[in-house]
Chains A and B, each alone.
Chain A
């Protein structure tokens, strides 16, 4: 599979942007600059980017509590997102949503979502609209290995098959639903087979490898976009941080995190591949890194300088029109 050079550059830039956004967010939380509950996507970047590189602004995604990466990959404004995390009224959601509810309708981002498996039914609705309108759009829901045991996930997958809508279910298996390993929480040995039992094909990917995810997602999205009904992507991946920032990670094996960072890093893997093929030089990738670091620095500076919301904004945006007489 050949990917044009400009697309390769963009994919790398997106993954690097997500990585640095998350690492900087972690630092700012530790500094006490960001409030609330935050779940970092560090380590899983290739999944979001490998999928979203197949999508346009009219296609939709819906994300999870660990949603920063999906939103950036789908085109959300990084500065607006950082302002949102800082709780500014200039944030992407005016400081009303925060980390777990970043959204941008213009970019087809139907929101990060604080409820595990809250998203798949909604994504089926977006896919249903695409089917009714026959407009060639697809609707992607990202969720994790925790979501696959929720009834909403089962309901959504079955309904998508029954209605034959262009829904793509991307399951990122980072092995831990909060503090519990998939080996305990999923009762069967073959989650792919269990999912395929709903009646749609599932394509497997290495979530640390952009090219692997890109290929699997390409097949799934093509399947859905061509009117063949839903499809799935299963990616094995690893998060480099805890479930939430502050998680003591008592569940990890000794050396597990070091091993993940060393051997399951999508950025390292991407660079190794480029060194092998010669498509993009290390110096050119370094230059992208520098631009990304400058963007993240600028986003934090902008977020710190951005206006704070005021009390009268509490009750704004609840309704479009609440015509109480």
Chain B
């Protein structure tokens, strides 16, 4: 099986879904690129992260649609097209830009079905590049998925590797509910084995990245690799851990987390978002309310501090959860 990067795996999913179903189209800023430009080389960009590369040349201007910088209109256009039977995949470049299209995502797309008494469907996918690691500072580094998880009506997907990214994207496009798809941009170049054929990974089913007896570690997105590195290093000290990657924060595979916590009695939750009302607090709360009697130690939350993401590489390295911090948290549950 060929190794593919997460960028290429998502791109392949888009190519395959668009070839299979002519109601699927992509829309966003520079998803083709160079429209109206002197070079005339329309399609040469394929998204600022290259995820939509080749789609313009393969499917043409009606299905790979460049837009002005108008995030609300992009989300609205996807939502409206989905309401009348299309399956749009919109790109909002950086997850931080949710700030300028929140209403269309939350109040519109996410609530149609409920407000309309279950008589509509809105199978739109909105893609975002999320997370830190690029010294991109306060407005281009947030994960944002923890915020969006709190809104009923939306599904929230956070792949942690190329294999999952392809299967989750194909599921997102096939899904009849609106899906927010957060691509940790630090992982675009990370590769693993990815099948050429189409496959889906169901939402609400966690992935088990490591299996062990002593501590349950739950990690999201780009934190999954760091948690795995911490766990692998601790193996030499005789500590073995479950590592659970929920893959979707909404729906959340509560069963997988609780089952593991009941077995280990110890829980570490890792996410790169700030702590308040975030996923680490959410899952710590889940364990406290549903697995309290199994817990042998306080739940450890490893996350960013209550601060915007800083620019300077040294500051950002201190800001994001590191392998060392995750190791220390695992050990703290055993102290």
Q: Is A34 an interface residue (CB 8 A)?
A: no
Pairwise interchain contact B119-A126, C-beta atoms closer than 8 A:
no
Q: Is B70 an interface residue (CB 8 A)?
A: yes
Pairwise interchain contact A152-B77, C-beta atoms closer than 8 A:
no
Of A24-32, A128-136, A265-273, A291-299, the stretch lying at the interface with chain B is: A128-136
Q: How many residues of B contact A (CB 8 A)?
A: 55
Pairwise interchain contact A124-B80, C-beta atoms closer than 8 A:
yes
Of B12-20, B251-259, B269-277, B283-291, the stretch lying at the interface with chain A is: B251-259
Residue of B nearest to A97 (CB): B115
Checking B84, B116, B205, B253 against A60 with a beta-carbon cut-off of 8 angstroms, the contacting residue is B84
Pairwise interchain contact A122-B117, C-beta atoms closer than 8 A:
no
Checking A118, A120, A125, A151 against B82 with a beta-carbon cut-off of 8 angstroms, the contacting residue is A125
- If A124-B80, A152-B72 are given as contacts, then 5 extra A-B residue pairs at C-beta distance below 8 Å, sorted by A number, are A110-B84, A118-B107, A129-B80, A324-B252, A324-B254
Q: Is A92 an interface residue (CB 8 A)?
A: yes
In the bound assembly, the distance between CA atoms of A93 and B205 in angstroms comes to: 31
Contacts of A124 in B (CB 8 A): 73, 76-77, 80
In the bound assembly, the distance between CA atoms of A60 and B116 in angstroms comes to: 15
Q: Is B86 an interface residue (CB 8 A)?
A: yes
Contacts of A321 in B (CB 8 A): 175-177
1/0 per position for A62-102, CB-CB distance to B under 8 A?
Answer: 10000000000000000000000000000111111100010
Distance from B80 Cβ to chain A, minimum over Cβ atoms (Å) = 2
Of B60-68, B211-219, B228-236, the stretch lying at the interface with chain A is: B60-68
Contacts of B204 in A (CB 8 A): 322-325
Residue of A nearest to B36 (CB): A162
Checking A60, A139, A319 against B153 with a beta-carbon cut-off of 8 angstroms, the contacting residue is A319
Pairwise interchain contact A132-B77, C-beta atoms closer than 8 A:
no
Contacts of A62 in B (CB 8 A): 80
Pairwise interchain contact B82-A323, C-beta atoms closer than 8 A:
no
Residue of A nearest to B83 (CB): A110
Q: Is B206 an interface residue (CB 8 A)?
A: yes
Q: How many residues of A contact B (CB 8 A)?
A: 51
CB contacts between A and B, total, < 8 Å: 171
1/0 per position for A281-325, CB-CB distance to B under 8 A?
Answer: 000000000000000000000000000000000001111111111
Contacts of B203 in A (CB 8 A): 323
Q: Is A250 an interface residue (CB 8 A)?
A: no
Pairwise interchain contact B83-A323, C-beta atoms closer than 8 A:
no
Q: Is A35 an interface residue (CB 8 A)?
A: no
Q: Is A121 an interface residue (CB 8 A)?
A: yes
Distance from B100 Cβ to chain A, minimum over Cβ atoms (Å) = 8
Q: Is B294 an interface residue (CB 8 A)?
A: no
Pairwise interchain contact B253-A324, C-beta atoms closer than 8 A:
yes
Q: Is A212 an interface residue (CB 8 A)?
A: no
In the bound assembly, the distance between CA atoms of A139 and B79 in angstroms comes to: 13
Residues of B whose CB lies within 8 Å of any CB of A are 25, 27, 62-63, 65, 67-68, 70, 72-86, 88, 103-104, 107-108, 112-121, 152-153, 155, 175-177, 202-206, 251-256
Q: Is A111 an interface residue (CB 8 A)?
A: yes
In the bound assembly, the distance between CA atoms of A152 and B76 in angstroms comes to: 9
Pairwise interchain contact B115-A122, C-beta atoms closer than 8 A:
no
Which 3 A-B pairs give the minimum distances between C-beta atoms? A121-B76, A125-B80, A317-B118
Residue of B nearest to A110 (CB): B83
Contacts of B253 in A (CB 8 A): 324-325
Q: Which of A113, A115, A127, A320 has the most CB of B within 10 A?
A: A320
Residue of B nearest to A132 (CB): B62
Pairwise interchain contact A118-B108, C-beta atoms closer than 8 A:
yes
Distance from B254 Cβ to chain A, minimum over Cβ atoms (Å) = 7
Contacts of A323 in B (CB 8 A): 202-205, 251
In the bound assembly, the distance between CA atoms of A106 and B145 in angstroms comes to: 34
Pairwise interchain contact A121-B81, C-beta atoms closer than 8 A:
no
Checking B73, B117, B155, B254 against A319 with a beta-carbon cut-off of 8 angstroms, the contacting residue is B155
Interface pairs (26), CB distance under 8 Å: A94-B117, A96-B115, A111-B116, A118-B103, A121-B79, A122-B83, A122-B108, A124-B73, A125-B77, A125-B78, A125-B88, A129-B80, A129-B84, A132-B63, A152-B73, A152-B103, A152-B104, A159-B68, A159-B74, A163-B65, A317-B118, A321-B175, A321-B176, A322-B204, A322-B251, A324-B254
Pairwise interchain contact B76-A125, C-beta atoms closer than 8 A:
yes
Q: Is A173 an interface residue (CB 8 A)?
A: no
In the bound assembly, the distance between CA atoms of A23 and B153 in angstroms comes to: 34
In the bound assembly, the distance between CA atoms of A91 and B117 in angstroms comes to: 9
Contact A128 to B114, CB < 8 A, known contacts A115-B108, A159-B67: no
Q: Is A170 an interface residue (CB 8 A)?
A: no
Distance from B177 Cβ to chain A, minimum over Cβ atoms (Å) = 5
Contacts of B113 in A (CB 8 A): 317-320
